[in-house]
Chain A
């Protein structure tokens, strides 16, 4: 205990030079409040709002009405569900390993919540601007796998066991392309801090990264969907095959925690995508307004950010409503044979383009300017876009030629070659 306490004391002593104009105790109070807001506010809210939204959107896609009895437009339905989950009997299967069985859902939910620490919700509102921001996201996200594995393994159920096997295979496989695409972003932005990434997406600096790096975005988003276990990558729970996969034995609030984990993960993915590729809270008039009236500017930024997040969430739900599910071997094929090499090549070409176009500057040491730095941010953006499209074109050619030779049908499907 002694070293930890000393470390904490040092931390608190160091707080005095934290750049905020508030005394250290106030800073801690703010962080605790912000933490409470994220954990007790966003997490249950995500569950309630997103389940309702998902049911409504999917219902519309399916030519149905969706929940419409509890409250106007049925929005109280999710609240009713939450209350039901809270008051449900909590069963533990005989022969379950109780400690991991109870720990698993908690871990899943916590790992999802932690991602929000580095997502700026609005100008000036961020948990902590870590200089390893996106690395932290990958690190925190990957211990959700542990929760899934614990849940599946401890249930003493064969469906859960199969789900756990799949969880390891799937989540671990898609971490690679996701991490590589984030590294590509870091190379272009020159930093892993989310605030810097948002700053670099100002129009003057070249604009949104989704324009500059569509392939990187696609890889990130698809891998992220696989990480968050969303359809068509929802093999861990594949209801028509392994019933509910790793969480088949959960009931009541533990089940709800798994669901919270899923929906918060989804929200975190949408938030990250919005931050990294759509410029976060960036939008017309935000900065001017923020400089004049910080609260109004912050609110406007929050509105922009939420709009972008909702856009991604809608896309995810749209996928769920329209796409069939992959099979596990096809899923692994897609990850290992398509996304991983694609992201690696994309990283190399993007790095090359950045080397050509990078502007001069200082970040501790002098940054050498690239030979084509004169074209500015817009030049970088268009060059990146061209290189991305080139990579996509070459990849499609490669996939086509491979698909003709390969026995597996995933590559064929990706390439559209008749089997």
Chain B
């Protein structure tokens, strides 16, 4: 095996590397916990490696895998210049149970600032303490929550949770012991916030421009933003925990509800990850159909972004929102035609498409394209691209240099808006993207206007891809793999073949069982890089299901971008990040 990364690591830190493992094309390096920081710096700074993008940090409870020590922290690294990936697996010794002392590991926030929230989340949900973290507080669960939900010994339900405001009401007396202490309480503010001299104001969760239940504690000097502290978790529903208690194929509908503006893309990301774990071959035509639908989804997601962004910035041009939603409506009609659902599609299944494409599908897409491109997009552009007020509201607002963006782990159109042409569809093509011709739009501006231009151009490029796919798409042919271990056999086969009946029975009652191992699949979602980490213990239920959602990581950049701006700029910046609270809080 000639992996330059592992070779270099082994020669440089012979004592630190405990083991190197390769599975399904992914390399995992197991490291000693106390040498994590110097290894991390080496990985980032070495000119041959340049792992500048930290994609994900997550904890593993290896309780049931029979590994010791029980906890491990995992780091997904990506080198944009070298286009390489590696996973660091760092087992953590220390207290292994109980709610008191937590296992402890060094924080890598000094190396990759993006680790800040990811480590907070790991601390919150898995109970791993990160020494040297600037502000290690719970991020998803309430401040006074007891326990760490993603640990395997955490009870799965049945305990009373009192969400009533009215806790003195005798009607709620039966709820008995309360996990949450008070009706409404203040979360702590970061120490550097000046509560005396400055105005500290809540934006959200009930605010027109926070796109849901995001809450920002904003420190204002007059109207100038001094610091923003985002508060998440209002919509937290424990999707990772759900995923670890569902069979692989049962999690697909849950994906729809995360980034609910891009269910197709989420499905594809998850399905591709599981397919890689299972080594399933997806038929060519199904791959094409997937690309087509995902690109339509990208257009739809960007249309919602455009409408809501314009509405946030202006407050009153809902017109653009209505026009954008009109076009999105037509895309949703196509989705409805394909799978019966408009938003919660769940159309992709492990091994292909759930149903074959309907006959009128291609005509419907063509019909949409003729109206939308170029007239539809040009209409939007004509309304705002050169509008002086729009420009003055977006230009020089929320500046993020490419270095800052990478350090903060920002991906997707935001990274490209900072001038870096990094797109997974080009860098590590999946599902056959390499067969299609398209450009990766970038903008050197780095401000909200640059991100606006990038997204508008991305819609055009998506149209380009869709047009090419349409020409290659042929009706008929298999829409699913023929691997009977993964997909159900067709109806007529069940009544004639005993083997098919057994497959059917096994799949329905038990589900498929992937081999033991760990994969981490990436996909370029409309909002950025979406990652699914799946750890299989050989059963039909994933042992660990980790998700990296782009909105969550991108949102972290709010403070950096908004500092020194005005209160109004926050709204522009939130809009230009394009968050969906469903995937931020998950």
Contact = CB atoms under 8 A, between A and B. Distances in A.
A240 B315 contact: yes
Interface in B312-334: 312-319, 321-323, 326
Interface stretch (B97-105, B360-368, B383-391): B383-391
B314 A165 contact: no
B396 to A, nearest CB: 6
Contact of A64 (B311, B322, B569): B322
Nearest to B308: A240
A240 B571 contact: yes
A324 B319 CA distance: 11
Interface in A160-184: 161-162, 165-166
A328 B566 contact: yes
Interface stretch (A17-25, A356-364, A409-417): A409-417
Contacts of B383: 322
A329 B390 CA distance: 14
Given A162-B223, A242-B567, A243-B208, A330 B317 contact: no
A91 to B, nearest CB: 16
A238 interface: yes
A232 B314 CA distance: 8
Nearest to B445: A419
Contacts of A153: none
A232 B393 CA distance: 12
B391 A419 contact: yes
Interface string B194-216: 00000101000001110000000
Contacts of B201: 158-159, 162
Given A63-B323, A238-B568, A165 B317 contact: no
A400 interface: no
B314 A62 contact: no
B169 interface: no
A269 B383 CA distance: 27
B388 A416 contact: yes
A413 B223 contact: no
Interface string A50-65: 0000000010011110
B488 interface: no
Contact of A409 (B222, B396, B567): B396
Interface in A234-252: 234, 238-243
A324 B392 CA distance: 10
Nearest to B222: A165
A161 B567 CA distance: 13
Contacts of A135: none
A242 B311 CA distance: 14
A326 interface: yes
A371 to B, nearest CB: 41
Interface in B218-250: 220, 222-223
Contacts of A320: 316
A238 B207 CA distance: 12
Contacts of B469: none
A327 B566 CA distance: 8
A413 B208 contact: no
B310 interface: yes
A305 B506 CA distance: 82
A406 B567 CA distance: 22
B461 interface: no
A366 interface: no
What size tier do the contact residues of chain A reach? 35 or more
Contact of A324 (B209, B322, B384, B567): B384
A190 B325 CA distance: 54
B568 A328 contact: yes
Given A412-B392, A413-B392, A416-B388, A321 B316 contact: yes
Interface in B371-395: 383-384, 387-393, 395
A323 interface: yes
B259 to A, nearest CB: 22
B395 A409 contact: yes
Contacts of A243: 207-208
A231 interface: yes
Contacts of A325: 313-316, 389, 393, 568
B568 A241 contact: yes
Contacts of A419: 391, 395-396
A326 B389 contact: yes
A162 B383 CA distance: 30
B312 A63 contact: no
Contact of B569 (A242, A326, A327, A409): A327
A239 B208 contact: yes
Q: Which of A159, A231, A241, A242 has the most CB of B within 10 A?
A: A241
Contacts of A158: 199, 201
A182 B313 CA distance: 32
Contacts of B207: 243
Nearest to A324: B314
A321 B568 contact: no
| Highest count of chain A CB atoms <10 Å: which of B318, B383, B390 | B318
Nearest to B574: A240
A321 B566 contact: no
Contacts of B391: 409, 413, 419
B199 A234 contact: no
Interface in A305-358: 320-330
Nearest to B210: A240
A92 B262 CA distance: 43
Contacts of B199: 158, 161-162
A337 to B, nearest CB: 13
A323 B208 CA distance: 19
Contacts of B220: 162
A231 B315 contact: yes
Contacts of A324: 310, 313-317, 384, 387, 389-390, 393
Nearest to B316: A231
B315 A239 contact: yes
A165 B389 contact: no
A222 to B, nearest CB: 12
A385 to B, nearest CB: 25
Residue in B201, B390, B392 whose Cβ sees the most chain A Cβ within 10 Å: B392
Nearest to B315: A240
B316 A63 contact: no
Contacts of B319: 61-63, 321-322
A234 B317 CA distance: 13
A413 B389 CA distance: 7
Contacts of A64: 322
Contacts of B326: 63
Interface in B502-555: none
B132 to A, nearest CB: 35
B148 to A, nearest CB: 35
A159 B209 CA distance: 14
A336 to B, nearest CB: 15
Contacts of B566: 327-329
Contacts of A416: 388
Given A240-B311, A241-B568, A321 B208 contact: no
Given A240-B311, A330-B392, A234 B316 contact: yes
A160 to B, nearest CB: 11
Nearest to B313: A324
Interface string B556-586: 0000000000111111000000000000000
Contacts of A61: 319
Contacts of A234: 315-316
A409 B199 CA distance: 27
Contacts of B313: 240, 324-325
Kindly list the 9 A-B residue pairs having the minimum CB-CB distance in the complex, ordered from nearest.
A324-B314, A413-B388, A413-B392, A240-B209, A62-B322, A62-B319, A231-B316, A327-B568, A240-B315
Given A62-B322, A240-B314, A328-B566, 14 more contacts: A62-B323, A63-B323, A63-B326, A231-B314, A234-B316, A241-B567, A241-B570, A243-B208, A323-B314, A324-B310, A325-B393, A330-B389, A409-B391, A419-B395
8 contacts: A161-B199, A231-B316, A240-B315, A241-B315, A325-B315, A409-B396, A412-B392, A413-B388
